[in-house]
Chains A and B, each alone.
Chain A
Amino acid sequence: MPYAQLGRNRVNYGLRGEEGRDVIVFINGLTQTTALWLNYQEWLARQGYRVLAYDTLGQGLSTKPVLGIQLDHHSDVLCQLLDHLGIEQCYVAGISFGGVVAQHMAINHPERVRGLVAMSTFSEMPTQLEMLGVAMHAAITQAGFPLIQALLMPINFSSQWLEMARSTLPEAIRRGNAINDPYAIQNLMESYVNFRPLTADLKKISCPTLILNGEFDFLTPRICHDIIRLNVANSRLVIIQHAYHAFTLEHPEVAMRQIEAFVRSVRDNTWVGDQSVWVASDNPQSETLATRYVGDHLRSIYYPIGPVEIEEWRVTLPGSENRSPEEATPPAPTSAKTRGKSARPRRTPAAASASSPAVRKQKGE
């Protein structure tokens, strides 16, 4: 891997694909390195793109400042790297921590960004994420890096994937422990102490924006991505099925397909940024890229919009023993009822959206 000497910092990067092509830049999550984008680089280069992956300061084989680094400085460093490589404009794709850097790029250096792919990320911290961050910081300072790894594995991946990888996980953890310097990861974590929410600045992003979110991601849950969707006019939100936080590693073919199709549509002027919500096809070979989301995408259960005929399971209320036998007889559990006529008050999708943090923020509450 070559290095770029940028002032006092050395930045480790890998660049694939010929000059003159559209450039896609990948920005790592917290404990990732450029090596994890290798299959993306190879596949996208074969599709006719030039693909750059690099270690941000504090990661992998790049310089790791001991005194720390300001969070929004990472986008300045990326600009320096692009200058060094003679790249004027690019598509910026960042995951998790890298997704925040990617948003900074689109906000602070819009002239450099042709399109933005924000993956498993956030523009503000919901309380759950903030508290998980504090807990992980406590883990790295009190018990060291291995505990962070132990925590991140089940956060990032599904049980199926972990089971499949069980025999190779110890070695992957050993390598992760060797590659990452705990003090540098701690510094990256602590750069969030003064995190200023980006949500108010998201309206400045005018470039096409693809937002990707794992179906079951509970570290950066749906609401984080919905806030970005609602505040970036030229955006679409696509949900990656069956996926958790690190879907780029667990479902690489699906993620690559989405990113390639996005870049191609922007290049061909067929991109539609209408703030709509979609579900990615889990077959990367299918011509169907995604299907429009039906229902309330902020819920984990299917919640249809509008009255729909749905089977209901009904039981008598407790204390009904004193009623007449006829009254106490439970109704048949398979009777079809109209959902809209149910005695249980229903929280409509409109009401759900109105009470979401994103909408409250828009209203200035």
Chain B
Amino acid sequence: MTVKIEIYDAVRDIIAQRGFTPEMQTKISLFLTAAKNANALFLGAVEFRPFLGLEQQFLHTQYFQEMESLLLLTKVTRWSTDPRLYQQALQHTAPLWNEWRVISGPLGIGHLNPVGFYQALALGHAMLSQVRITPIIPVDADTADPYVIALRRIEQDNARMIQTQIALLRSSAGHIPVDDRESLIEQKQESVRQTFLKFLGWLTADQPATANPQSV
């Protein structure tokens, strides 16, 4: 399911009114970096998986693309100095980490079995497809603003990166019936979507009317 436009509109309206304040940037960047880090955990782990062949090439490439996105975002973000934001962010990012923890299992090797591997791909697809930030950018936002550029660039990169998940989800686990695979993927989509919806709600929660002067 798609996030309803009204939810995006509510966030967009706040940004149109107050701009991309350090608080807003901090919230967005903490969530995006968590999503990318959770995917990167799997991608990094695949580096050590033997006999993966061509798939490893794609996942290896994506790993470094995710790293590039993370670096870009963290470099352009004007971070807030309000420690509460970082604590609050944990509530919103924890479900993403938990999704990975469920797949990797207590020994951290769950992704090495075929079903775990497939679940990890599905989680990556959900992260790249459900976490879509650009609809919150007001249409009259400064197109030269580094933060706006970064958000757009990251979503553009996501469109390229997700091709790996699309191809592998279709071609892997052929022994599992299509409906079962679709159900498994849908669970991850729904989980990430619900987390993303709560995060968007957080963006519309009360925050200072002016930019935090202590921001860095």
Listed in ascending order, the chain A residues whose CB lies under 8 Å from chain B are 8, 10, 60-61, 63-68, 140-146, 170-171, 173-175, 177-183, 186
Partner-A contacts on B (CB < 8 A): 1-5, 8, 12, 122, 125, 129, 132, 134-135, 137, 139-140, 155-156, 158-160, 162-163, 166, 169-170, 178-179, 181-183, 185-186, 189
Does B185 lie within 8 Å of A63, measured CB to CB?
no
Contact A182 B159 (CB under 8 A): yes
Total A-B Cβ pairs within 8 A: 76
CB contact under 8 A between A181 and B179, given known A66-B189, A141-B159, A144-B159: no
B159: chain A residues within 8 A (beta carbon)? 140-145, 182
Chain A residues whose CB sits within 8 angstroms of the CB of B181 once the complex forms: 67
The reply to whether A66 and B186 form a contact with Cβ atoms under 8 Å apart is yes
Q: Taking CB as reference atom, which chain B residue is nearest A182?
A: B159
- Asked whether B160 lies within 8 Å of A67 as measured between CB atoms, the reply is no
Complex: chain A residue closest to B162, CB-CB: A183
CA distance A66 to B182 in the complex (A): 7
| B178: A residues at CB distance < 8 A | 67
Q: Which one of B3, B132, B162, B179 contacts A8 once the chains associate, using CB atoms below 8 Å?
A: B179
From A66, A170, A179, give the contact of B169 (CB < 8 A): A66
Smallest CB gap from B125: residue in A = A66
Inter-chain contact A174/B166, CB cutoff 8 Å: no
What's the Cα separation between A177 and B3 when bound, in Å?
Answer: 11
- Minimal beta-carbon separation of A61 from chain B (angstroms): 6
A178–B135 CB distance below 8 A = yes
Q: How far is the CB of B143 from chain A (nearest CB, A)?
A: 11
Residue of A nearest to B185 (CB): A66
| B5-A179 in contact (CB<8A) | yes
Within the complex, the shortest CB–CB distance from B118 to chain A, in Å, comes to 12
Q: Residues of A contacting B160 with CB < 8 Å?
A: 141-144
* From A66, A144, A178, contact of B156 by CB (8 A): A144
Q: Is the CB of B3 within 8 A of A186?
A: no
In the complex, are the beta carbons of B2 and A179 less than 8 A apart?
yes
Residues A67 and B185 in contact, CB atoms below 8 Å apart: yes
Q: Is the CB of B182 within 8 A of A175?
A: no
Q: A173–B137 Cα gap in the complex (Å)?
A: 12
A174 adjacent to B139 (CB under 8 Å) = yes
Give chain A residues whose Cβ lies under 8 Å from the Cβ of B185. 66-67
Given contacts A66-B129, A183-B129, 5 further A-B contacts (CB under 8 A): A61-B1, A173-B139, A174-B137, A178-B2, A181-B2
Residues of B within 8 A of A143 (CB): 156, 159-160
**CB proximity of A214 to chain B, nearest CB, Å:** 28
Q: Roughly how many angstroms separate A146 CA and B135 CA in the complex, as a whole number?
A: 11
Q: Are A186 and B2 in contact (CB under 8 A)?
A: no
| Residues in B whose Cβ lies below 8 Å from that of A65 | 182
Chain B residues lying within 8 Å of A60, measured Cβ to Cβ, are 2
Once the chains bind, are B139 and A171 in contact (CB under 8 Å)?
yes
With both beta carbons as reference points, the residue of chain B lying nearest to A68 in the complex is identified as B170
A64 with B2: CB separation less than 8 A: yes
For A64, list chain B residues within 8 Å (CB): 1-2
What is the bound-complex CA distance between A174 and B12, given in angstroms? Answer: 11
Question: Are A141 and B189 within 8 A (Cβ)?
Answer: no
Neighbouring A residues of B2 by C-beta, 8 Å? 60-61, 64, 178-181
* A103 nearest CB across to chain B (Å): 26
Chain B nearest CB from A49 CB (Å) reads 28
Nearest CB of chain A from residue B186's CB, rounded to whole Å: 7
Q: Contacts A66-B189, A143-B159, A183-B162 known; A178 to B182 CB distance under 8 Å?
A: no
* Distance to closest chain B CB from A193 (angstroms): 12
Contact B182 A8 (CB under 8 A): yes
| A177 with B135, Cβ < 8 A, contacts A144-B158, A186-B166 known | yes
Of the listed residues B122, B135, B140, B181, the one surrounded by the most CB atoms of chain A closer than 10 A to its CB is B135
How far, in whole Å, are A183 and B169 apart by their CA atoms in the complex? 13
A107 to B183, CA, bound (A): 31
Q: In whole angstroms, what is the CA distance A146 to B155 when docked?
A: 10
Least CB separation from A143: chain B residue: B156
Closest CB in chain A relative to B76 CB, distance in Å: 19
Q: How far is the CB of B176 from chain A (nearest CB, A)?
A: 11
- CB-CB under 8 A from A186, the residues of chain B are 166
Across the two chains, which residue of chain A brings its CB closest to B156?
Answer: A144
- Could you list some 18 contacts between A and B, CB below 8 A? A60-B2, A63-B1, A64-B1, A66-B125, A66-B166, A66-B185, A67-B178, A67-B181, A142-B160, A143-B156, A143-B159, A144-B156, A173-B139, A174-B135, A175-B135, A178-B5, A178-B132, A182-B162
